[in-house]
């Protein structure tokens, strides 16, 4: 599953914890690219967290292989 497919299915603002729980990908902080330094509200869990806006190559591989 790609990040675009996740955004289409669950909403565009997802935190790393929700992506891990939805896809069982075990993403780490270094695998993600964050858009803003301030926390925003996650569309899935509703908590104020850092929102994932992109993935590095290691994060893309972890997400694709799950």
* Residues 48-60 pLDDT 10s: 999 999 999 999 9
Q: What pLDDT is stored for residue 34 in this prediction?
A: 93
From the CB of residue 59, how many other CB atoms can be counted at a distance below 10 Å? 21
Q: What's the pLDDT score for residue 2?
A: 81
Residue 5, pLDDT > 90, answer no
- Domain assignment of residue 44, given as a range: 3-65
Contacts of 26 (CB under 8 A, 6+ apart): 20, 62
Confidence of residue 18 (pLDDT cuts 50, 70, 90): very high
The structural domain count of the chain equals 1
């Amino acid at each position: 599953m790609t990040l675009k497919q996740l955004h289409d299915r669950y909403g565009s603002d997802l935190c790393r914890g929700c992506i891990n729980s939805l896809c069982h990908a075990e993403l780490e902080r270094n695998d993600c690219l964050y858009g803003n330094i301030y926390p925003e509200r996650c569309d899935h869990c509703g908590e104020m967290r850092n929102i994932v806006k992109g993935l590095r190559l290691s994060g893309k591989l972890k997400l694709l292989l799950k």
